[in-house]
Amino acid sequence: MYVRLRLLAAVVVAGGLSGIGCSNPLGRQYEYSEQLYLDVDGSAELVIDSSIAAFVALRNLPLDPSPDVPVDREAVALLFAEPACGEVTVNRPWRRHGRRFVQVVLEQADVRQFARCGPVAWSTFSFERIEGAGNVEIEYTQEVGAPTPGDPGAVNWTGEEIVGFKLHLPSRILFHNVRNLEDGEPGTADRGNILTWEQWLSERREGKPLRMEVRMDGQSILYRTLWLFAGAFAAALLTLAAGTWYVLRRTKRKMAAGA
């Protein structure tokens, strides 16, 4: 999967890529977020970070949003126990601003299957490889529709809460339609080929539509990086072998001349 290869490449080129991480350059703290790690073969890992209150308000999941009730990780995992959700992992919960949060990680061989995974089925996913003249491009589109509203009761939300959708892309970005949350101007990719679409939590609860469009190269940057590294390593070995052979040859000649 792309996310595992990404970690491998990060280790391989750690010296040149120091500083790359998963922190948000704008310092955002999302009430709900979906981070999709997409591979060029269409496989994907979807990482969902959400407060329990947001899970109830946006997806109507049968969870207790009270900050005094510990998160039942097994109960959360059961809500995603559908074939379309793929492999499910629920990580350790945490607290922020007096609210309980949890992270759910889904792995799927085909990103389009997530459209049938109940808790994230507000989105439709399109992944298409387009063959050109000696070139392959990938078009990815995700449309986030209306929520399935639930009642989280009294929550200490201030109106400044943000919902985020992030794409971690494996290849060179050719086009995207990201807009900045504050001014609506075209946005840019974050370091590490990350695109972020944002909405206010109030807009997401009202069902304001969100369309995410990306066009990218069909060849992974990470594969290319690993091949370059392998090529450089092989060249270094050949150079070392040639140097060793040359030194040994000169040594033998000197020994033969002195005999």
pLDDT the model gives residue 231:
43
The whole-angstrom separation of Cα 165 and Cα 51 is 15
pLDDT the model gives residue 132:
79
% of the chain beyond a pLDDT of 90: 69
Arithmetic mean of pLDDT, 179-203: 93
pLDDT the model gives residue 257:
65
The whole-angstrom separation of Cα 114 and Cα 42 is 12
Residue 133 or residue 29, greater confidence: 29
Question: Does the pLDDT at position 235 exceed 60?
Answer: no
Residue 223 or residue 195, greater confidence: 195
- Any idea which of 4-18, 19-33, 137-151 has the lowest mean pLDDT? 4-18
Quick one: pLDDT band at residue 110, thresholds 50, 70, 90? very high
Domains of the chain, residue spans: 2-219, 220-259
Quick one: pLDDT band at residue 192, thresholds 50, 70, 90? confident
Tens of pLDDT along 33-50?
999 999 999 999 999 999
Quick one: pLDDT band at residue 230, thresholds 50, 70, 90? very low
Residue whose tokens read 């298409």? 128
Single-letter residue type at 167: L
- Any idea which of 22-26, 53-57, 122-126 has the lowest mean pLDDT? 22-26
Tens of pLDDT along 122-174?
999 999 999 877 789 999 999 999 999 999 999 999 999 999 999 999 999 99
Arithmetic mean of pLDDT, 181-206: 93
For 181-241, the DSSP string reads TTT--B--PBTTTEEEEEEEHHHHHHT--EEEEEEEESS-HHHHHHHHHHHHHHHHHHHHH
Residue whose tokens read 């299957």? 113
Q: Which residue intervals of the chain are DSSP H helices?
A: 2-12, 52-59, 73-79, 201-206, 221-258
* Long-range contacts of 9-17, Cβ-Cβ distance < 8 Å, separation of 24 or more: 9/222, 9/225, 9/226, 12/225, 12/226, 12/229, 13/225, 13/229
CB 46 within 8 A of CB 106: yes
Is the overall model pTM greater than 0.75, yes or no? yes
Across the chain, mean pLDDT equals: 84
pLDDT the model gives residue 238:
60
